Amino acid sequence: MRHHLILRVITKLLVGAIMLFAFYVQFHGDFSPGGGFQAGVIMAVAFILYGLVFSLHNVQRVFPPWLVHKLVALGVLIYAGTGVVSMFLGYTFLDYGSFVPSHPSSGQHYGILVVELGVGVTVTAVMVAIYYAFAGRPPRLSDEEW
């Protein structure tokens, strides 16, 4: 794989741009099309592209499997925790107006950002975990049998 110099250089340039675009989609999802799910998939694409070009072993050094599994749970906890906090404040589950009772529309904005962050973290981690599971499987056919 060392002889694919152009592919490796372009991938190094693209990964940063893809991640930057994922953050844009994540944090502007309430104003434009996008949000946590779309941003999570875009962020996962950056890691998957890196793994396809530089190998599964190298991407797992950058984004270790133990961290991927922890982020799956963390994203769900962020999402559910937002709802639990609103319940502790005396409102219904995921009633974002509870975060800023004096100005409920601001609370809505903050709540949506936090929930979308949880969705983005979960989707990124799940998509990367699926890639790791498929890419880490040993092949059933050897290269000579093709």
Handedness of CA 99, 71, 12, 6 (dihedral sign): negative
**Would you give the DSSP letter of residue 137?**
S
> Residue 74 falls within a domain, yes or no?
yes
Domain membership of residue 146 (yes or no) is no
Asked if the structure places residue 145 within a domain, the reply is no
pLDDT band at 42 (very low <50, low <70, confident <90, very high): very high
CA 132 – CA 116 distance, rounded (Å): 24
Give me the count of residues in the chain: 146
**Is the predicted pLDDT of residue 35 greater than 80, yes or no?**
yes
The answer to whether residue 20 scores a pLDDT higher than 90 is: yes
Q: Per the structure, how many domains does the chain have?
A: 1
Task: Give the residue numbers spanning the domain of 28.
Answer: 5-139
Dihedral of alpha carbons 115, 121, 124, 127, sign: negative
pLDDT, tens digit (0-9, with 9 covering 90-100), for 103-132? 877 788 888 888 999 999 999 999 999 999
Distance, in Å, from the CA atom of 127 to the CA atom of 108, rounded to the nearest integer, reads: 28
With bands split at pLDDT 50, 70 and 90, how would you rate the model's confidence at 143? low
